[in-house]
Amino acid sequence: MITVSVKWQKEMFKAVEIDTTQPPYVFKCQLYDLTGVPPERQKIMVKGGLLKDDAEWSTLGVKEGQKLMMMGTADEIVKAPEKGPVFVEDLPEEEQAINLGHSAGLFNLGNTCYMNSTVQCLHSVPELKSALIKYSHSGRSNDVDQTSHMLTIATRDLFGELDKSVKAVAPMQFWMVLRKKYPQFGQLHNNTFMQQDAEECWTQLLYTLSQSLRSSGSSESPDTVKALFGVELVSRVHCVESGEESSETESVYSLKCHISHEVNHLHEGLKHALKSELEKNSPSLGRSAIYLKESRINGLPRYLTIQFVRFFWKRESNQKAKILRKVDYPLQLDIFDLCSDDLRKRLEAPRRTLRDEEGKKLGLKSNEKSSGSKDNDIKMSDVEGSSNGSGEASNPTPDEAAGAMTGIYDLVAVLTHKGRSADSGHYVAWVKQESGKWIEYDDDNPIPQREEDITKLSGGGDWHMAYICMYKARTVPM
């Protein structure tokens, strides 16, 4: 790390840090934040000519305290007329961002699309943003290590930047802290940062936030991340050979959709994943035996995350290979039949209420029958498309949220992957806005998309295919 001064027009920027382990493009993104000059317009004079995006710092001879000269024009800012109508371009940037209808994109800092797409999906969860805003900059608990604290602060600040900016944001601080907390994201190949697995980034980031937000001293929600994303599972583990049987409970942040030649739909893949075999020691047999593990959902989150298990380790090539099989997923997902008997009973009344609400919109009479039957579930799914979480209780406690759950979820974000390996290719986020419109976040380029095209990201070729889906719970007032 070296420090330089940068002269641009009549301004002098002192003590600008250069991380020489990163490509010059990252340095240009820093200057973009300082000057408003996009990286592609920057002309920076160094030894041998102009600074190129992919140059090697070691060959440029840049020294500590050196003064660099930069040329380039910043993005034009339209000045408001003294009188007359106020145009969108004349509003403060924060108001422009609100009028834009979606948040800003994120610059790719060198194979960081896995990180950008993860951030864009999680940024769409307003309850997570609210919890981060309340997180104190200086109030780190003794239970949280310094790097976890700094990553939580960096996430909070990056979310804030995305909400306030109309131009793409360079996530420099977040990226540096992420690599410090999880060094695997800083792996280099030929002096270039390597592509990483978006699911691993998603999992590690949520784990860190769960530790920090749980220890932040908030009495309202002692475990924010668990309340928002945690799925409670209850499992029956039995050995056919010995007759032994036991039960287990666990909390996970995502469900898996296993993909095989039998799986054509997300629901089928979820069912497969809730059944597994494991080998462990049998006390009665005095040796290892095969146990069958059958799980059921016993507690629902506000946001249900589902990972399509598309990657597996291929020994021949010594890398993660990808399953390209087409697996369809719905805009509305009903998981009632994947729940435990106890949870189904708790869901019956809210499901009746939801069906009655939807029936009233269609001019139907209230149905007093139980919602436990499969036929009723299908009918309810048919009429729920016009609702987008209307009637949700605002910021319920975890217990209230579970009481008002229906087991029905609406798709709000899809993280896709294009390519043949998890550690290569390209990741993109597709996020539903509060207005109901969908935006494709391809790094720094937000692109509006039609809702009917979102479910076409189901695989079967080399185009973008769903890797992670995030669904929001459809709830009813208690």
Percent of the chain with pLDDT over 90: 55
Pairing outcome for strands 49-50 and 192-193: unpaired
Q: What is the DSSP letter of 432?
A: E
First to last CA, the chain: 56
Q: Quick one: tokens of 348?
A: 């019956």
Computed over every residue of the chain, the mean pLDDT equals 85
- Nearest CA to 361 among 404, 390, 331? 390
Non-local (6+) Cβ contacts of 77 within 8 A are none
Catalytic residues: 113, 426
pLDDT of residue 91: 54
Distance (Å, whole) CA 250 – CA 269: 20
E strand segments, 113-202: 188-189, 192-193
E strand segments, 315-368: 319-322, 332-334
Q: Which of the two residues, 409 and 477, has the higher pLDDT score? A: 409
Give me Rg for the CA atoms of the chain.
25
Yes or no: say if 20 and 51 are a contact pair by the CB < 8 Å rule.
no
Domains of the chain in start order, with CATH, are 2-71 (3.10.20.90)
Instruction: With cut-offs at 50, 70 and 90, classify the pLDDT of residue 48.
Output: confident
Yes or no: say if 52 and 24 are a contact pair by the CB < 8 Å rule.
yes
Q: In 314-436, which residue ranges form alpha helices assigned H by DSSP?
A: 341-361, 374-383, 398-404
Residue type for position 348: E
Non-local (6+) Cβ contacts of 217 within 8 A are 139, 141
Span 60-82, pLDDT tens digits: 888 999 999 999 888 765 555 55
pTM (whole model) above 0.85 = no
Distance (Å, whole) CA 148 – CA 138: 13
Yes or no: say if 255 and 267 are a contact pair by the CB < 8 Å rule.
no
Span 355-375, pLDDT tens digits: 998 888 887 665 544 444 444
Residue 129 has pLDDT above 60, yes or no: yes
pLDDT of residue 440: 97
Q: What is the mean pLDDT of residues 146-163?
A: 95
Distance (Å, whole) CA 418 – CA 438: 19
